């Protein structure tokens, strides 16, 4: 396979200007440069993208995804390192990039497509198809500064996909299009994939990454932290998000504890018991019982709470869950350490990997501690169906 995007040692910094008070400015007049701070939006990025790949760039807000895409698109220049592109590149980056506000839609189509390397005759040939795809024919002779953001993206995407690009860069902007247009764009992206073109997309729609991409890169604070299958990348990102969420829950709990002097209860260990022993990562046969063992600790006494358990896919979709309350069980007050267990019988799942989630919450619904991937198990089954649910099925010919 050919490498179509080759990124080596790429770094980009921005200068953050911090406003100082008038007093600070007068006192330090001419001596201090402290109101300038260097900020690295990207640091030492090495990335190689092969032709025909659909790569998802994901990461928390401000992690550098758009900056990286802009550098691949040639809109931003790196401070160090290099980006080499092989083939024609079309980019749908931030709103406003690529279109001149005072020109009409028609003029912008010509301008934009010629910048992307098309001749006038070629643009004449594609023009009707571009306008038709965009669905904004009535506004094609209006200056684009009067366009809504959705109309803007419609026209920009229509141009980008009609200039016969080898590489298509798509930033989050697609999200401003309405639902039917987004569906149309995603269909076009699928056609591009089938034609073997290369696509790099930035998205916060994690389901989209699992659905569309064959490779995903997670950026965090300007560095690549995971580069692998969408499943691996999503696992990293979800774990990070979960860590942030958990920190927030803990901060809230601490604040609550200080004000209400309430005890905090937490899970201190989760394991799975099967016929072959106790582990945090079990393998079961269809129909085998799985017992989820939970250890908890609280510094004081916790009353009026429930315990929950759930089974999820590695991507976090909950397939099943229950709580002591739903089962009609009361949990006695918790003091110090606690040991509990849920027995899950005859699990109706097909071959695959699953995670166990556990939750401690008040009877009023307030979450005390949630562990999204507390343990894993896999079901070892012969493949006779598709999808996570196992059910008995047979086939007969009826004459």
Ligand X SMILES: Nc1ncnc2c1ncn2[C@@H]1O[C@H](COP(=O)(O)OP(=O)(O)OP(=O)(O)O)[C@@H](O)[C@H]1O
Q: Give 21 or 77: the residue with its C-beta nearer to ligand X.
A: 77
Nearer to ligand X, 222 or 308 (CB): 222
Choose between 15 and 397: whose C-beta lies nearer to ligand X: 15
Q: Which is nearer to ligand X, 21 or 61 (CB)?
A: 61
Closer Cβ to ligand X, 245 or 366, answer by number: 245
Residue number with CB closer to ligand X (62 or 336): 62
Do 281 and 274 contact (CB within 8 A), yes or no? Answer: no
CB of 354 to ligand X, least distance (A): 30
Choose the binding region for ligand X from 65-73, 107-115, 380-388, 390-398 (rule: CB under 6 A): 65-73
Angle, in degrees to the nearest 10, between helices 105-115 and 120-134: 130
161 binds ligand X (CB under 6 A): no
The correct pick among 8, 11, 14, 143 for binding ligand X (CB under 6 A) is: 14
Residues in contact with ligand X, counted by CB under 6 A, come to a total of: 10
Q: Give min distance, CB of 93 to ligand X, in A.
A: 10
CB nearer ligand X, residue 80 or residue 281: 80
Supply the minimum distance, in Å, between the C-beta of residue 17 and ligand X.
9
Least separation in angstroms between CB 89 and ligand X: 18
Give the shortest CB-39-to-ligand X separation in angstroms: 6
| Residue from 309, 316, 323 nearest 271 by CA | 309
Query: What distances in angstroms separate CA 318 from CA 279, 324, 373, one per listed residue?
Result: 22, 17, 11
Q: Which is nearer to ligand X, 204 or 251 (by Cβ)? A: 204
Cβ-based nearer residue to ligand X, 204 or 252: 204
Does residue 65 touch ligand X according to CB under 6 A? yes
Q: Least distance in Å: CB of 64 to ligand X?
A: 4
CB atoms within 10 A of CB 180: 9
Cβ neighbours around 179 below 10 Å, total: 7
Q: Which of 5, 53, 56, 64 binds ligand X (CB under 6 A)?
A: 64
CB of 13 to ligand X, least distance (A): 9
- Among residues 53, 54, 67, 112, the one that binds ligand X under rule CB under 6 A: 67
SS3 366: coil
| CA angle, 72 then 78 then 83, to 5° | 40
Do the Cβ atoms of 149 and 136 come closer than 8 Å?
A: no
Beta bridge partners of 204: none
**Cβ closer to ligand X: 40 or 110?**
40
| Whole-Å CA distances, 151 to 9, 56, 93, 144, 148 | 37, 25, 15, 9, 5
| 3-class SS of residue 367 | strand
R_g (Cα) of the chain, nearest Å: 27
| Surface-to-core class of residue 16, CB atoms within 10 Å of its CB (0-12 exposed, 13-18 middle, 19+ buried) | exposed
Helix residue ranges, H only, 135-278: 149-162, 179-194, 206-212, 230-260
CB of 311 to ligand X, least distance (A): 31
CB of 171 to ligand X, least distance (A): 8
**Residue 358 binds ligand X (CB under 6 A):** no
Q: How far is the CB of 61 from ligand X (least distance, A)?
A: 3
Identify the CA nearest to 349 among candidates 289, 393, 389, 302. 389
Q: What angle do CA 310, 315, 320 make, to 5 degrees?
A: 25
**66, 112, 226, 296: residue in contact with ligand X (rule CB under 6 A):** 66
**What string of DSSP letters covers 43-101?**
EEEEEEEETT-EEEEE-STTSSHHHHHHHHTTSS--SEEEEEE-S-EEEE-STTTT--T
Interface positions, 24-63, toward ligand X (CB under 6 A): 41, 59, 61-63
The residue ranges that bind ligand X (CB under 6 A) are: 14, 41, 59, 61-67
């Amino acid at each position: 396979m050919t490498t179509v995007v080759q990124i080596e040692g790429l770094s980009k910094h921005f200068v953050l200007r911090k406003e100082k008070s008038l007093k600070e400015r007068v006192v330090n007049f001419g001596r201090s440069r402290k109101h300038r701070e260097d900020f690295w939006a990207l640091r030492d990025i090495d990335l190689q993208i092969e032709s025909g790949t659909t790569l998802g760039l994901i990461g928390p807000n401000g992690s550098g995804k758009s900056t990286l895409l802009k550098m691949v698109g040639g809109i931003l220049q790196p401070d160090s390192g290099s980006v080499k592109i092989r083939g024609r590149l079309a980019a749908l980056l931030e709103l406003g990039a690529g279109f001149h506000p005072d020109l009409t839609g028609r003029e912008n189509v010509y301008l934009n497509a010629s910048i992307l390397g098309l001749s006038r005759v070629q643009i004449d040939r594609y023009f009707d198809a571009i306008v038709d795809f965009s669905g904004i024919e009535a506004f094609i002779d209006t200056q684009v500064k009067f366009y809504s953001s959705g109309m803007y993206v419609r026209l920009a995407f229509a141009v980008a996909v009609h200039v016969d690009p080898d590489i298509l860069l798509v930033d989050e902007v697609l999200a401003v299009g309405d639902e039917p247009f987004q569906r149309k764009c995603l269909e076009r992206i699928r056609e591009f994939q089938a034609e073997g073109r290369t696509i790099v997309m930035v998205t916060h729609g994690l389901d989209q990454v699992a659905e569309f991409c064959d490779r995903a890169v997670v950026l965090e604070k300007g560095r690549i932290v995971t580069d692998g299958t969408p499943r691996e990348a999503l696992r990293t990102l979800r774990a990070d998000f979960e860590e942030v969420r958990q920190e927030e829950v803990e901060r809230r709990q601490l604040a609550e504890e200080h004000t209400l002097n309430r005890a905090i209860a937490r899970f201190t260990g989760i394991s799975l018991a099967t016929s072959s022993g106790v582990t945090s990562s079990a393998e079961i046969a269809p129909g085998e019982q799985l017992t989820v063992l939970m250890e908890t600790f609280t510094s004081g006494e916790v009353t009026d709470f429930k315990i929950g358990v759930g089974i999820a896919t590695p991507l976090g979709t909950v397939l099943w869950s229950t709580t002591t309350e739903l089962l009609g069980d009361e949990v006695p007050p918790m003091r110090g350490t606690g040991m509990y267990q849920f027995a899950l019988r005859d699990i109706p799942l097909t071959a695959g990997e699953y995670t166990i989630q556990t939750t401690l919450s008040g009877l009023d619904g307030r979450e005390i501690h949630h562990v999204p991937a507390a343990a894993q198990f896999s079901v070892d089954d012969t493949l006779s169906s598709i999808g996570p649910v196992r059910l008995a099925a047979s086939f007969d010919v009826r004459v």
